[in-house]
A and B are shown apart, each in its own frame.
Chain A
Amino acid sequence: MIKTPEYKARVFGAHLVLIVFLAFVIYPLAYLVSVSFRTGHTLVDTIIPSNPTLEHWYLAFEQPYVGMNPQKKDLDGIESVTFNNALGDVTFTADGQWTLTAAPRVEAEYFPLRSYLSIGFLDRVGRVVASTEPVHLVLDTADRADRYSDDVVFIAADGQASGQLTIPDTPAGAERTTVQYGNAYVAKPTFPVLSWLMNTIKVASISAILILLLSTTSAYAFGRLPFKGKGPMLKSLLVIQMFPNTLFLVALYLLFDKLGGFVDFLALNTHSALIIGYMGGLALNIFMVIGYFDTIDPAMEESAAIDGATPFQTFYKILLPLSVPILAVVFILAFIGFVNEFPLASVIISDLDKMTLAVGAQQYIQDQSQLWGDFAAAAVLSGVPITIVFLIAQRFLVGGLTSGGVKG
């Protein structure tokens, strides 16, 4: 083929369209990762966080995070200033002399606590124009004193420390002289993200296995075995699968409310009820498996039957081993579908510890408090494994999707 300039331009254009489009696709994902590393829960920042922190990630892994908030006190025209930086009470005099009397506001299990002291010059709007090299402070129990090198000031939990900061001349443009210090704090995990992850994996995998069991046996009967009323039944299944459970959530809620009175494992607020409730979404999967069974030549099963195999043996020993690809597709699609499922889980589960990720993640973003940073870390933590499974499986899925219906 001759590569005319016009042809080259076309190829270039196609690349350009794809790349511009991909920017739209990837930006929100990058944004999510960015928010998870930002200090605080701010949405206003550059895509590379200006002040990166692992705080949200510590919390997502249910670990307490010992952090530091930058604070300042004005020095101009003041003899001395006292403040508490969570390590203890600090007295700072105008000539740069400081004394810290340890009085940690945080329990010993979160030691070491860190802080710093430096002189900062601010302009009229409060921006830092210049600041001195900070003195780093660390507070820990006395027996761990030897762990810290000389460039930090060590303070025992009941000790005292003092030092001198040189206050340089006020640089041009600066209007205020301040002492800058770090205020130590402990952020404790508010939500059981790991339990949510475990709950999700448990519910989704058990449900997907059950769906696999039920859909293959049903598909075998519908695809291979003769029985009365098969045609109308298949048609009704096709109609049934068009009705998502969001349409009758009230009825499902009341149903489980009633059933729970009779059998414990069907009670509201249990995972077993949720799993059983998910079995309603079977029809679509049956069709996918039937579609695959149709592509397998039944000659082998017939010869097995002639040799005396029971229908169950032909199903179990011949048809199933031949159908492994579709079994994988059904399992993965069902698994991802259940991980994503929100309506039924939100109606059935109400305890914080029992929630699945889809329901739990919404707890971060309420009208009153919007913990975007914590949400982002939890979302990346839970989204990445699912995305990876999906990407690995995508080769199988193309065929599976075309033979089935829609993503649920």
Chain B
Amino acid sequence: MANQNAIPMVPQSAAQGGWKLWLQRGIVGAISLFFMYIVLVMYSQGEPLFAVVMLLFTTAFAYIFLFDRAYVWRYVFSGLAGMMLFIVFPILYTLGIGFTNYSNLHLISFEQAQSYFLNQTYAAEGGSNYDLVLYEDGSDYRIAVENEDTGAAFVATESVPMTHTEQIILELDASEALDLALATLQPAPRNAAILLRSELDQVMLVLPDGTELMKSRLTQFSTTYPLYELNDNGNLVNQQDGSVIRPDFEIGYFVDENGQRLNPGFTVGVGFDNFKRVLTDKGMFDPFVQIFTWTMLFSAFTVVATFIIGVTLASLVQWEPIRGRALYQLLLILPYTLPSFISIMIFKALFNQNFGEINYILESLFGIAPNWNSNPNTTRGMILFVNTWLGYPYMFILCLGMLQSIPKDLYEASGLEGSGMFNNFFRITLPLILKPLLPLLIASFAFNFNNFVLIELLTKGGPIIIGSNPQAGETDLLVNYAYRLAFRGDSQDFALASTISTFIFMIVAVIAFLYLKVAKVEVGIKKH
């Protein structure tokens, strides 16, 4: 792979003036220090994996920018680092997630789940009880409590709107100023404690001496204690009733003695379970095969259709007797110039079931009004039509370039032999442009295979495949299916989505392999 035209590799930083060298070292050193600071932050936040990766990155950075031996790498370092971080790493990460049960039911790590349980509290029998009195402060509420036995009263130092969904902590105070403030407030209606019961459940009161109170009955707060304690074998013992819950690393839940699962679940590795599910579960396998087939057909149809239209238009526009060719060319590439997020929406309007122009025309001409939303086949037809409209200009531009490079005398010679228009096209034009276009056609196939935006904006994958579980769409491409599993519906099954993505990676790898074969990349060797 030696490059004959290579330039001698002598970066002259060593021969540079001393101050330049020191400036270089200073800047690189300062940036490295900043990176090291991030490493420390990562490590201290309990992310050793990130810290190690960042440390490697920093080392590579410092080495490459300080030592002349690694001079060449200075040119590619940032680009490669970007691609590593935002393509290679996410791909590997996705592959990894596919082997876990990561989903909205198993969102947190084991440690987080454990500490969640350890933070649970309960109101103990033997502790003191405090009666709750709620005051209205405008639209807010002020909490006051009174000790059942001693009668000592405490008032929260601030009023709160009682619209919180997570636990809030309120300081209590017994000062007379607060009593005075209380005198100006109206007691809340009796049913307020019932209406606000779920909010009050999420209130922790702290007495001036630091004792914590939680709600124990409807209008009563009591001293609290941690509900669980960790025992030696890693199980959690319920301090209230002595029962034991243990983490089950097979299913990613803490389970009690009856095997009942306790939320929240945590993330665990599940091996090939997700892959088995995709390939054996009927509710997933059938839709998966159907979506895969549709994705292949969609991509193949798009490539063929856009190519045929593109090459036809290019041949017409290239034809010399046609006047106004520049204008035709300009107008023909318009769909390519308009942002696709706009043009797709235009078609969404045109194909509107009740108010769209297309059904209006079809209705008045043929008396039919196809259903573009709920009938899978007409919906697919619409998608193919729209994507052909969007995609032909690219093929048109490519073919235009290719056609210009075909020597004119070929056509003259064949014309002398009496060859016609179609003969010329199929015997000369097509063979000559197909070969150089093949890698680009494959790339176009790969692009359309993952044409997420088209489906997402046009149909969102709908209609739903009957019998699919979790839900899958009739017009989903594989990539939309993965997106649906991860971000739509109630399960948010990131792991299952990653499993589907893994299948897509494999298919794309095959396409990439074909591409490499066809494109015959000549790296490092000059083409002239």
Partner of A262, one of B45, B79, B336, B446: B45
| 0 or 1 for each of A354-391: is its CB under 8 Å from B? (1 = yes) | 00011001100100000010010001001100110011
| Contact A43 B398, beta carbon cutoff 8 Å | no
Chain B residues 1 to 28 lying within 8 A of chain A, measured CB to CB, are 1-3, 5-12
Selected interface stretch from A17-25, A134-142, A167-175: A17-25
Residue of B nearest to A314 (CB): B7
Query: Is A69 an interface residue when CB atoms closer than 8 A count as contact?
Result: no
Query: Is B355 an interface residue when CB atoms closer than 8 A count as contact?
Result: yes
Least CB distance, B85 to chain A, in whole angstroms: 8
Q: Which residues from chain A contact B402 at a C-beta distance below 8 Å?
A: 402
Q: Which residues from chain B contact A10 at a C-beta distance below 8 Å?
A: 421
| Contact B394 A255, beta carbon cutoff 8 Å | no
Q: Which residues from chain A contact B346 at a C-beta distance below 8 Å?
A: 28-29, 31-32, 379
| Contact B83 A258, beta carbon cutoff 8 Å | no
Residue of A nearest to B385 (CB): A24
Query: Is B365 an interface residue when CB atoms closer than 8 A count as contact?
Result: no
CA of A25 to CA of B440, assembled, Å: 24
| Contact A239 B509, beta carbon cutoff 8 Å | yes
Chain B residues 430 to 451 lying within 8 A of chain A, measured CB to CB, are 440, 443-444, 446-447, 450
Known A222-B76, A362-B457; contact A43-B356, beta-carbon cutoff 8 A: yes
CA of A285 to CA of B405, assembled, Å: 24
| Contact A365 B498, beta carbon cutoff 8 Å | no
| Contact A255 B337, beta carbon cutoff 8 Å | no
Query: Is A244 an interface residue when CB atoms closer than 8 A count as contact?
Result: yes
Partner of A386, one of B7, B93, B339, B527: B339
| Contact B11 A406, beta carbon cutoff 8 Å | no
Partner of B86, one of A234, A279, A406: A279
Query: Is B237 an interface residue when CB atoms closer than 8 A count as contact?
Result: no
CA of A277 to CA of B389, assembled, Å: 30
Q: Which residues from chain B contact A199 at a C-beta distance below 8 Å?
A: none
CA of A43 to CA of B355, assembled, Å: 6
Known A18-B313, A301-B7, A311-B9; contact A357-B93, beta-carbon cutoff 8 A: no
Chain A residues 300 to 324 lying within 8 A of chain B, measured CB to CB, are 301-302, 305, 308, 310-312, 314-315
| Contact B86 A250, beta carbon cutoff 8 Å | no
Q: Which residues from chain B contact A382 at a C-beta distance below 8 Å?
A: 339, 342
Q: Which residues from chain B contact A43 at a C-beta distance below 8 Å?
A: 349, 352, 355-357
| Contact B356 A220, beta carbon cutoff 8 Å | no
Q: Which residues from chain B contact A310 at a C-beta distance below 8 Å?
A: 10-12
| Contact A235 B521, beta carbon cutoff 8 Å | yes
Least CB distance, B500 to chain A, in whole angstroms: 10
Known A235-B516, A401-B394; contact A214-B79, beta-carbon cutoff 8 A: yes
Least CB distance, A130 to chain B, in whole angstroms: 30
Query: Is B322 an interface residue when CB atoms closer than 8 A count as contact?
Result: yes
Q: Which of B45, B352, B397 has the most CB of A within 10 A?
A: B397
| 0 or 1 for each of B488-528: is its CB under 8 Å from A? (1 = yes) | 00000010011001001100110110011001010110111
Query: Is B206 an interface residue when CB atoms closer than 8 A count as contact?
Result: no
| Contact A217 B75, beta carbon cutoff 8 Å | yes
Query: Is B347 an interface residue when CB atoms closer than 8 A count as contact?
Result: yes
Q: Which residues from chain B contact A220 at a C-beta distance below 8 Å?
A: 75
| Contact A358 B450, beta carbon cutoff 8 Å | no
| 0 or 1 for each of A326-341: is its CB under 8 Å from B? (1 = yes) | 0000000000100110
Least CB distance, A373 to chain B, in whole angstroms: 11
Q: Which residues from chain B contact A282 at a C-beta distance below 8 Å?
A: 79, 82-83
Known A251-B97, A358-B339; contact A218-B75, beta-carbon cutoff 8 A: yes
Query: Is A245 an interface residue when CB atoms closer than 8 A count as contact?
Result: yes
| Contact B457 A248, beta carbon cutoff 8 Å | no
Q: Which residues from chain A contact B356 at a C-beta distance below 8 Å?
A: 43
Selected interface stretch from B127-135, B165-173, B327-335: B327-335
Query: Is B452 an interface residue when CB atoms closer than 8 A count as contact?
Result: yes
Q: Which residues from chain A contact B527 at a C-beta distance below 8 Å?
A: 294-295
Query: Is A283 an interface residue when CB atoms closer than 8 A count as contact?
Result: yes
Query: Is A73 an interface residue when CB atoms closer than 8 A count as contact?
Result: no
| Contact B91 A243, beta carbon cutoff 8 Å | yes
Query: Is B118 an interface residue when CB atoms closer than 8 A count as contact?
Result: no
Query: Is A163 an interface residue when CB atoms closer than 8 A count as contact?
Result: no
| Contact A397 B397, beta carbon cutoff 8 Å | yes
Q: Which residues from chain B contact A224 at a C-beta distance below 8 Å?
A: 3, 5-7
| Contact A311 B352, beta carbon cutoff 8 Å | no
* Interface residues contributed by chain A, number (CB under 8 Å): 105
Known A251-B93, A280-B82, A305-B7; contact A243-B87, beta-carbon cutoff 8 A: yes
| Contact B83 A280, beta carbon cutoff 8 Å | yes
CA of A280 to CA of B78, assembled, Å: 11
Residue of B nearest to A242 (CB): B512
Known A242-B508, A247-B479, A312-B11; contact A262-B50, beta-carbon cutoff 8 A: yes
Residue of B nearest to A397 (CB): B397
| Contact A401 B397, beta carbon cutoff 8 Å | yes
Query: Is A2 an interface residue when CB atoms closer than 8 A count as contact?
Result: no
CA of A334 to CA of B489, assembled, Å: 34
| Contact B498 A250, beta carbon cutoff 8 Å | yes
Residue of A nearest to B452 (CB): A246
| Contact B339 A248, beta carbon cutoff 8 Å | no
| Contact A249 B486, beta carbon cutoff 8 Å | yes
Partner of B444, one of A227, A294, A406: A406
| Contact B316 A28, beta carbon cutoff 8 Å | no
| Contact A387 B334, beta carbon cutoff 8 Å | yes
| Contact A248 B90, beta carbon cutoff 8 Å | yes
Least CB distance, B306 to chain A, in whole angstroms: 11
Least CB distance, A287 to chain B, in whole angstroms: 9
Partner of A29, one of B88, B334, B348, B446: B334
Query: Is A44 an interface residue when CB atoms closer than 8 A count as contact?
Result: yes
| Contact A238 B87, beta carbon cutoff 8 Å | no
| 0 or 1 for each of B44-66: is its CB under 8 Å from A? (1 = yes) | 01010010000000000000000
Known A242-B446, A246-B450; contact A230-B524, beta-carbon cutoff 8 A: yes
| Contact B453 A342, beta carbon cutoff 8 Å | yes
| Contact B94 A379, beta carbon cutoff 8 Å | no
Query: Is A78 an interface residue when CB atoms closer than 8 A count as contact?
Result: no
Query: Is A261 an interface residue when CB atoms closer than 8 A count as contact?
Result: yes
Query: Is B401 an interface residue when CB atoms closer than 8 A count as contact?
Result: yes
| Contact B512 A245, beta carbon cutoff 8 Å | no
| Contact A11 B321, beta carbon cutoff 8 Å | yes
Partner of A240, one of B6, B83, B85: B83
Known A44-B355, A372-B349; contact A238-B389, beta-carbon cutoff 8 A: no
Least CB distance, B292 to chain A, in whole angstroms: 15
Query: Is B308 an interface residue when CB atoms closer than 8 A count as contact?
Result: no
Query: Is B42 an interface residue when CB atoms closer than 8 A count as contact?
Result: yes
| Contact B322 A11, beta carbon cutoff 8 Å | yes
CA of A242 to CA of B505, assembled, Å: 10
Chain A residues 216 to 234 lying within 8 A of chain B, measured CB to CB, are 217-218, 220-222, 224-227, 230-231, 233-234
CA of A382 to CA of B338, assembled, Å: 10
Q: Which residues from chain B contact A407 at a C-beta distance below 8 Å?
A: 336, 394, 447
Query: Is A215 an interface residue when CB atoms closer than 8 A count as contact?
Result: yes
Query: Is B340 an interface residue when CB atoms closer than 8 A count as contact?
Result: yes
Partner of A26, one of B331, B345, B398, B440: B331
Ranked 6 nearest A-B pairs via Cβ:
A280-B86, A221-B75, A251-B90, A279-B82, A390-B337, A43-B355
Known interface pairs A28-B343, A310-B11; 13 further A-B residue pairs with C-beta atoms within 8 A, sorted by A's residue number: A11-B321, A26-B331, A31-B346, A222-B524, A226-B3, A250-B94, A251-B90, A255-B86, A280-B86, A336-B339, A401-B401, A405-B440, A407-B336
19 contacts between A and B (CB under 8 A): A14-B321, A22-B331, A222-B524, A226-B72, A230-B523, A240-B83, A244-B447, A247-B501, A247-B508, A251-B94, A295-B527, A302-B7, A310-B10, A343-B456, A386-B339, A387-B334, A391-B330, A397-B397, A406-B444
**Residues of B that sit less than 8 Å from A by CB:** 1-3, 5-12, 38, 41-42, 45, 47, 50, 71-73, 75-76, 78-80, 82-83, 85-91, 93-94, 97, 313, 316-317, 319, 321-322, 328, 330-343, 345-350, 352, 355-357, 360, 389, 394, 397-398, 400-402, 421, 440, 443-444, 446-447, 450, 452-453, 456-457, 479, 482-483, 486-487, 494, 497-498, 501, 504-505, 508-509, 511-512, 515-516, 519, 521, 523-524, 526-528
